[in-house]
Structure 1
Amino acid sequence: MPGSRLPAEGDFSCAAVVVAGGASRRLNHVPKASLSDGTNTLLGCALEAVATASPRVVVGPESLPLPSGVLRTREDPPFSGPAAAIHAGLECIAADCERSQVPLPEWCLILGVDTPRVAPAVQQLIAAARNAERAAGFSPTDSESSAGFWGVAEGIYQPLVGIYHFEAIRSVFSTGTTDASVRSFLRRLNPAAVEMSAADTADVDTWEQAQALGYTTSLWSSY
């Protein structure tokens, strides 16, 4: 499936990976992406939050309904964890850019599918990356500097709410990601913290959290 070629906001070059293929064990295996508040699904919220990114790729099963122009891929093997999903998403973006004969993006948003109110946090990340580009001496390939930003809400780091220099994160996630810790890879990038509201980064891992956020109706029962 060809990727969207619409430019990111202004002259800011940014792609996005949405991790959406987890097993949802604490939700009795009901797909998180399918949960709806009656107006939108968690998947829809995630894609809207990264609407200015290009290309956008969702890492999840073939059964996920996606808008036209959104790429899809899957971690290998399926259900081998979010680190493997990030690797698959980054490689999908690189392959799409090669097919389309366009440059790789400068930045890449990494987002889980289960944070329905995350759009303001995503804008914070984009603002942080833009400011970094303007800063004198910013060098995302310098091992002593930060290659990106991740969210921190009330002292809790959010590994699936972040933005990173594309080539740096692709290199870090290139091997050994199956059933691995996402944080162990991201720490190699020395990401800078962006303070965020806990309300913006609230996620859905349990039915209690789904109830609190209003996403309790599943629009499809399984992957």
Structure 2
Amino acid sequence: MDVVAYDTIILAGGRARRLDGISKPDVLLHGHRLLDYSLRATTAARRRVVVGPPTLTVPPDVLHTQEHPAHGGPVAGIDVGLAMLDRHRRSADRPDLPVLVLACDIPHVATALPRLLAAYQDPAIRPADGAFLVDPDGRAQWLAAVYRPEGLRRALAALAADAGIRDASVRRLTAHLDLRPVPVEGAEGTDIDTWADHARLDTLLTTAALTTAVRTPVAAPAPAPGPIPAPAGGSADPRPTMIT
């Protein structure tokens, strides 16, 4: 099956009340920002846009925008992110590339993306509007999903005409769409909403790193440095220096 080209909207706003109101995308997990995990997971995207406050640092090849006024909720973020992708489309670009919508607080999602994209292009499910991750307990991860852009625009327009986009729930947005579930494997869909969530994922990464270290022969060459290596000792203080 051919590799699917896609665009990405990374949602990196929100008030993060259960994380003491700090900037969630800047929270550190094993020495790297949560936003960095999302950026690394989506390096194959044609275009990426981060929707979040202007204080965020993003790579030069990544678009950056924010809903106005700020803190308008994920649906408002999807709306401005899609508009930003549309504004930066070149004449030679395909207008129908799928759009991956990804919350910035799902650090293990990278391994699920190939299955999401495969489900999207599966002839058996076309012309569905996309595919989303679903946890073992049946909880839908609407912000770890691949959408057809025309379906997303249609759903946003319907929601805007009804109750408005600002502060709308993603569940109301997806009620206008025909989406297919893709089961998560392991911790792929685990998000970080609280410091307890952060501690669990930190422990998981520490255990994985220690297991890898034990299984690696002493004489083995060191791996090439990557954007997000997992240190064996766990995270230091995960709170960003700047409080927003």
TM-score relative to the length of structure 1: 0.85
Q: Within 5 A, what are the aligned runs for 1:49-68? A: 49-68=41-60
The percent of aligned pairs where both chains have the same amino acid is 32
Quick one: which of 131, 148, 151 aligns to 1:149?
131
Paired residue for 2:151? 168
Cα separation, 2, equivalents of 1:136 and 1:47: 30
After TM superposition, give the deviation of residue 136 of structure 1 in Å.
Answer: 6.7
After TM superposition, give the deviation of residue 41 of structure 1 in Å.
Answer: 1.2
After TM superposition, give the deviation of residue 76 of structure 1 in Å.
Answer: 2.0
List alignment gaps of at least 5 residues for structure 1: 1-9, 140-145
Is 1:210 aligned with 2:159?
Answer: no
Which residue identity does 1:170 align to in structure 2?
R
Quick one: which of 27, 31, 37 aligns to 2:23?
31
Cα separation, 2, equivalents of 1:126 and 1:87: 21
Which residue identity does 1:190 align to in structure 2?
D
Cα separation, 2, equivalents of 1:128 and 1:137: 8
Is 1:116 aligned with 2:107?
Answer: yes
Cα separation, 1, equivalents of 2:191 and 2:95: 30
3-state SS, counterpart of residue 114 of structure 1? coil
Paired residue for 1:186? 174
Instruction: Give the conservation status (yes or no) of the 8 Å contact 1:15–1:105.
Output: no
Paired residue for 1:103? 94
List alignment gaps of at least 5 residues for structure 2: 203-234
After TM superposition, give the deviation of residue 33 of structure 1 in Å.
Answer: 0.4
Count how many residue pairs are aligned between Structure 1 and Structure 2: 203
Cα separation, 2, equivalents of 1:203 and 1:136: 30
> Computing the radius of gyration over CA atoms, which structure comes out larger, 1 or 2?
2
